[in-house]
Amino acid sequence: MSTLFAPKLPANGANIPALGLGTFRMRDDVCTQAVGAALEIGYRHIDTAVMYANEAAVGQAIAASSVPRSEIFLTTKVLPDEIGAGALQKSAEGSLKRLGLDFVDLLLIHWPNARIPLAESIEALCDVKKRGLARNIGVANFTIALVEEAVAIAGRHGEKLATNQCEYHPRFNQDPLIATCRKHGIAFVSYCPVGQGRIVDDPVIVGIAARLGRTPAQVVLRWHMQQPGVAAIPKSATPAHQAANLAIFDFALTDEDMQALSGLAVPNGRLVNPPFAPTWD
């Protein structure tokens, strides 16, 4: 089987493979095996977090892989309670230790935290980048107002944000937030890009997939890829799903297909809404 690679998305100095592997809910050997298999078939972007308790497992897969470290784009995230001055830097150091790496390619604030001043968090994030622990910095689950504020603060420290990682799939419209990210050159990284696997039996998606001879998940991931400035990180521990999810760069959706998929959005389409979430847009 020939190896496929995702194209790279430029994002304020970062070069992010547009299709990466999510690792939420995978731990220990399952995680190491899944990440190793993904690297083997061409994934070059891996998404982890302190919250997932799998950084060590991800690090083991990277260490055991024949893929050079320089080809891998590794993202991790800081817990929302650890984004204060000093704590954030300590968290980054802990992540590197568990991962067995000298730097991560992208360090994110996993969730905003209204109890910690944003200026303090962003300054700490910029400090981690200046110290070389992270090549790029960004945020996740930031609203439009928070993105605007974070961009301004980072700018005062001479830095730019590479990404805002947020929930996005055809059932959940994020157009205004994506437009804000684009305006600032920030890549929008879609999490739950296949709606946690729940949208693959949608009749509209199934219909488009049947016409194109693709799987529903491939159609949905292709929909993400055809939106400027958007990347996606589907999680899969199933080898056939991993391979299919990456094999989406040799076909295209028509404008009508794109509109039909976007038309599936519903007002209550959000899947991830923990008690500590910000007041959403």
Which residues of this chain interact with ligand NAP, rule CB under 6 A? 22-24, 47, 110, 140-141, 165, 191-197, 200, 215, 217, 233-238, 241, 244-245, 272
Contact of 108 with 51, CB cutoff 8 Å: no
CB of 280 to ligand NAP, least distance (A): 13
- The H or E element that residue 202 is part of is none
Measured in whole angstroms, the distance separating CA 16 from the mean position of its chain's CA atoms is 10
The pair of structure tokens assigned to 134 is 């992270």
- Kindly provide the b/e burial profile for residues 67-89, where b requires at least 16 CB atoms within 10 angstroms of the residue's own CB: beeeebbbbbbbbbebbbeebbb
**Cβ atoms within 10 A of the Cβ of 263, count?**
10
168 is catalytic: no
CB of 269 to ligand NAP, least distance (A): 13
Is residue 119 classed as helix, strand or coil in its secondary structure?
Answer: helix
Q: Of 155 and 249, which CB lies nearer to ligand NAP in the complex structure?
A: 249
Is residue 12 classed as helix, strand or coil in its secondary structure?
Answer: coil
CB of 53 to ligand NAP, least distance (A): 13
CB of 156 to ligand NAP, least distance (A): 25
Q: Of 130 and 266, which CB lies nearer to ligand NAP in the complex structure?
A: 266
Instruction: Calculate ∠ Cα 180-227-182, nearest 5°.
Output: 20
Q: Of 252 and 272, which CB lies nearer to ligand NAP in the complex structure?
A: 272
- Cα separation of 78 and 281, whole Å? 23
Q: Of 98 and 110, which CB lies nearer to ligand NAP in the complex structure?
A: 110
Amino acid at 8: K
- Cα separation of 191 and 202, whole Å? 19
Q: Of 146 and 194, which CB lies nearer to ligand NAP in the complex structure?
A: 194
CB of 216 to ligand NAP, least distance (A): 7
Contact of 12 with 225, CB cutoff 8 Å: no
Among 43, 52, 168, 191, the active-site one is 52
Contact of 105 with 129, CB cutoff 8 Å: no
Catalytic residue list: 52
